[in-house]
């Protein structure tokens, strides 16, 4: 882990003040992979190389952070620094005429993410699911917000509105609640 941070830091410290400023400006506009947030402008612009290295790793993790850093370096005309970074990390991405990094293998979506639309449309016993999630995944306020909805699809939509804050364990608990209350639906979706 320290090796990756050191490689990021070495690459950023090899930039002149103007190049470093261009790097930060490009980082504000480069397209990001789905699921990653942009470092806020007010946070990014005053950063030095050490702070930016930490922020790159915390926002984009090491593998994607390396690809993104190399992409931005190439986009601001620093191909040699980008190549050196990738050689140091042994990332396996090769600079070429395209300025986009090689995509990593797509992570498999969790069952509840993969079948979100079908679950919203087809779950009929939402109250049973809510009861299983209450206190483990849902707060009292969230539980009441879902129960206040009139139809099952709107209840499920409201339930899914809380999902961005859930980790894998929360999604697993939802899946188990669905297996317990809607076993045939889960079996049908699993086979599709």
Please determine, for residue 113, whether its predicted confidence score (pLDDT) is greater than 80.
yes
What value does the mean pLDDT take over residues 119-133? 93
Task: Give 150's contacts (C-beta < 8 A, 6+ positions apart).
Answer: none
pTM for this model (two decimals): 0.47
| DSSP-based three-state secondary structure for 28 | coil
Asked if 3 and 9 count as a contact pair (C-beta separation under 8 A), the reply is no
Interval 65-111: pLDDT, tens = 888 898 899 888 888 888 888 888 774 444 433 444 445 555 578 88
Please determine, for residue 128, whether its predicted confidence score (pLDDT) is greater than 90.
yes
pLDDT band (50, 70, 90) for residue 143: very high
Please determine, for residue 175, whether its predicted confidence score (pLDDT) is greater than 70.
yes
Asked if 24 and 47 count as a contact pair (C-beta separation under 8 A), the reply is yes
pLDDT band (50, 70, 90) for residue 8: confident
Q: What tokens were used for 168?
A: 């894998």
Asked if 147 and 136 count as a contact pair (C-beta separation under 8 A), the reply is no
pLDDT of residue 142: 93
What value does the mean pLDDT take over residues 15-38? 88
């Amino acid at each position: 882990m320290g090796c990756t941070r050191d490689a990021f830091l070495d690459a950023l410290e090899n930039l002149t003040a103007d190049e470093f400023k261009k790097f930060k400006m490009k980082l504000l506009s480069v397209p990001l992979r789905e699921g990653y947030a942009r470092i806020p402008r007010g946070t990014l612009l005053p950063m030095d190389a050490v702070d930016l290295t930490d922020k790159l790793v915390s926002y984009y993790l090491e593998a994607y952070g390396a690809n993104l850093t190399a992409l931005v370096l190439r986009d601001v005309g620093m191909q040699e620094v980008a190549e050196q970074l990738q050689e140091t990390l042994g990332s396996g991405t090769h600079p070429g005429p395209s300025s986009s990094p090689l995509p990593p293998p797509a992570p498999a979506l969790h069952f509840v993410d993969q079948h979100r639309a079908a679950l919203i449309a087809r779950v009929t016993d939402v109250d049973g699911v809510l009861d299983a999630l209450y206190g483990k995944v849902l707060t009292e306020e969230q539980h009441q917000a879902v129960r206040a909805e009139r139809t099952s699809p709107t209840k499920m939509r409201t339930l899914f509105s809380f999902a961005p804050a859930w980790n894998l364990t929360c999604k697993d608990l939802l899946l188990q609640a669905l297996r317990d209350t809607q076993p045939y639906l889960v079996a049908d979706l699993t086979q599709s």
